[in-house]
Every structure is written in C-alpha cells, then in structure tokens.
Amino acid sequence: MSNALPPSDPTPVSSRCHALLPCAGTGSRAGTPLPKQYQPLAGRPLVHHTLAALRGVARLDRILVVLAPEDAHWPGDVDGVEAVRQGGATRAESVFNGLLALRERGVPDSDWVLVHDAARCLVTPEEVSALIDACAGDPVGGLLALPLPDTLKDEAGGRVAGTIERRHKWLAQTPQMFRLGELLGALQATRATGFEGITDEASAIERTGQRPRLVEGRASNIKVTYPHDFALAEAILRSRA
C-alpha cells in the first residue's frame, strides 16, 4: 500500500467572505452638490449607513472601499474599513481594481467577495447574511434580487411597443457574491472591450457560461439613484431607528 497522500485540490473550498464597495461614482443622475454617496442622509453621509450595515455582518473578514483617486470626502479613518483610491471610469472597472487590491493584500482566489454598491445604503445585515447562507455551498455564487412586481412594458418613441412576459424576470440588487479568482477572470475577459455590457458582477459571470443563484431580497434595498430617492431612503432609515 502506498503512503502517498492524495493530490491536493488546486482550488480549496474557502468559506471566508469579504465585502468590496465600489464608491467611486459621481452620482450624475442624483443631481446633488456632493457625490451621492457622501450626501447627508438621516444625519450622516449616505455611505456610512451602507458601511454600518456591512459592519453588522460578523462573517465578513474585510471591508474594502474603492474610492475615486481624487475623492475629497472620504473621512479617512473608519473603524474596520480599508479604502483604496483606485476607482475607474466605470463601475466594472472600479470593481476590477478593487478585486486586484484584495489579491495584493493576500486574499486567495478561492475566498468569496460580496460586491455591494455604496449607494445601496438600505441593505441590512440580515439580507447580507441570507445571501451568504444561500451561496456559501453553491458552486457558482449568486446575488440578491427581486422578482419583478409590476407589469413590464417595452417602449418605442415614448409609447408602449408591447407588454413583456414578466414571469421569471428579476431585478438585480447587490450584494453579489462570487469567488475572487472567478470574478477577476470573468471581468478580465471583458476588459479589452472596456467591460462593455457588464453592469453587475453576475453579468460577467454569466458570460463564462455559469448561472448565478438568485436569492430573493427586499424591495427596500434600493440603489439611491435619482433626486427623489433620498427622501425615501431617509424615511426608511428613520423608521428603523
């Protein structure tokens, strides 16, 4: 009988999770004087609410925020949070740079990364935990999403061009949870085209032929995007206080 050990798995399964926050946008649709992630909301900059929710998830090993290189609003020292000034021209590029920064810090390719929009400040620790619970044993990973609640219309020239079958249609939210190496590779494959068509992490993973898991989230996990979203976000935050 041979004493040789069986060959080791080249990609050991890791259960470690990290959060990555793209926070380098300009918030052009929000129309606020400050980039929207720094706009005051219930007495604090918007991104602080996002970070407070993530810091409430004990299973997150690291929280890394990707800032624009010229960001003048980041407070500098947020407990338990690391920031890199490596934001890119698009969300996908900011995420890609953040993943490289995680790798440079020694995070192995097999660890999970939960990418979460800084602008989704209403996410709760419970929603993040539900995503981790649902995806930790999944071979691909997945995302929070919401089954489409309304009738969906196709438009042409400001008029209805048709009604789209809404069964099996979901609205993608964040966090989106994938293995560091897989997500980096998937984004790298679209880099030459300027990450064209990559509007979230799942879309990059889908291009590799894999099918991310949909984990039902809540309607309250909105991305603050337009001017009227601030009042809604503030009302929800105050109702929770």
Ligand X SMILES: C[C@](O)(CO)[C@H](O)COP(=O)(O)O
Ligand Y SMILES: Nc1ccn([C@@H]2O[C@H](COP(=O)(O)OP(=O)(O)OP(=O)(O)O)[C@@H](O)[C@H]2O)c(=O)n1
Partner touching 22 among ligand X, ligand Y, none, CB below 5 to 8 Å by kind: ligand Y
CA distances from 90 to 35, 68, 85, 119 (A): 15, 11, 14, 15
Residue 15 is a binding residue for ligand Y (CB under 6 A): no
Stretch that binds ligand X, among 58-66, 101-109, 128-136, 167-175 (CB under 6 A): 167-175
Nearest residue to 115 (alpha-carbon basis) of 10, 215, 238, 200: 200
Residue 163 is a binding residue for ligand X (CB under 6 A): no
Partner touching 39 among ligand Y, ligand X, none, CB below 5 to 8 Å by kind: none
d(CA 50, CA 57): 12
For the bound state, the minimum distance from the C-beta of residue 120 to ligand Y, rounded and expressed in Å, comes to: 7
Are the C-beta atoms of 186 and 212 separated by less than 8 Å? no
The tokens describing 20, both together, are: 């990555």
Stretch that binds ligand X, among 42-50, 79-87, 168-176, 207-215 (CB under 6 A): 168-176
d(CA 131, CA 126): 9
Axis crossing angle, helix 46-55 with helix 125-135, rounded to the nearest 10: 50
Using CB under 6 A, which residues numbered 34 to 93 contact ligand Y? Answer: 37, 66, 87-91
Stretch that binds ligand X, among 105-113, 155-163, 169-177, 190-198 (CB under 6 A): 169-177
Query: In the complex with ligand Y, which residue's Cβ is closer, 13 or 89?
Result: 89
Nearest residue to 51 (alpha-carbon basis) of 76, 6, 27, 81: 81
Among 129, 223, 232, 236, binds ligand Y (CB under 6 A): 223
